[in-house]
Structure 1
């Protein structure tokens, strides 16, 4: 019985529907967390390389929503919607992400922010409703590389504002 529990922990039931991306960012955890809480920050770094964001509405609270358009470098616009389902500053944010409020293919993401010395380890764990939707996100939308680029943009942004803050 114990062996089965350990095996389940090592390979969660959602493993075939998950994408997990992590990165260590050279900035304090509170600053990295804050970059997710205010639209003035999010609009500066959200999305893969070459993408920009236009926000229609933003309310960072449990049950609040972020309605926005992600503009691709090729001119394609992607309507996006996020609802915050859990906020535990400065440790954890959980959210539901889709094209719109009633999107049956919306996926869940949990972001954790852990201190790593003077840096922050951020982990983004995304679970899709089905393995097929996860595979489509990876193959058609390059979700793994896009997620890595998004965290890279976040790292560059918070490193820069941290540096500028130190100069004040």
Structure 2
């Protein structure tokens, strides 16, 4: 995990081809299974995975609190990159890139906040939350690979 100006960057190498990783990021049924930190579940209301497409969902926290989310997909490059803007609450752009490592794939998860004050507030829980997100993604990828 590293940080840039208003940005949290996490990366992980998975023992799957990048096509599988891209599929996990762009298939609503799969995305709903791993998006968010440990203990969270999701209800997707809309997930139109294309540039300009809307993604509305509710994250259900382990404490019973619901977190409504509104995102818009900005860029979808098959097997290479997914970018989306998170527009509810803290505004940030998530960019995920998928680098082929001869059958394995490195995903780099960049979360760039629009406002410095919001970045300063969110980084305390987003750093760990993003790592947990990648943990959950790994479990879904393992199931997909077998």
TM-score, normalized by length of structure 1? Answer: 0.82
What is the number of residues matched between the two proteins?
Answer: 144
Most deviating of 125-134 and 64-73? 125-134
Contact 1:26 1:155 in 2 (8 A): no
> How much has 1:86 moved relative to structure 2?
0.7
- The one of 151, 161, 164 equivalent to 2:134 is 151
1:138 shift after superposition = 1.5
Please point out which of 111, 117, 120 is paired with 1:126: 111
Given that 2:11 and 2:107 are in contact with CA atoms closer than 8 Å, whether structure 1 keeps it comes out as yes
Structure 1 residue 145, shift from structure 2 partner = 0.5
2:57–2:68 CA contact under 8 A, matched in 1: yes
Displacement of 1:69 = 0.3
> Does the alignment pair 1:35 with 2:11?
no
1:94 corresponds to 2:83: yes
Q: In the alignment, which residue of structure 1 is the partner of 2:100? A: 115
Larger radius of gyration: 1
TM-score after normalising by structure 2 = 0.93
* Larger relative strand fraction: 2
Residue of structure 2 equivalent to 1:63: 52
Q: How many angstroms apart in 2 are the aligned matches of 1:159 and 1:95? A: 25
Shift of 1:110: 1.0
Q: Secondary structure at the match of 1:49?
A: coil
Structure 1 unaligned spans of 5+: 1-13, 164-168
2:13 — aligned with what? 24
Q: Distance in 2 between matches of 1:127 and 1:47?
A: 17
Structure 1 CA distance for aligned equivalents of residues 5 and 130 of structure 2: 17
The whole-number CA distance in structure 2 between the counterparts of 1:27 and 1:82 is 27
Q: Which runs of 4+ in 1 moved over 4 A?
A: none
How far apart are the structure 2 equivalents of 1:119 and 1:159?
A: 12
- Deviation digits for residues 41-60 of structure 1 (CA, Å, limit 9, x no counterpart): 11111111110000111111
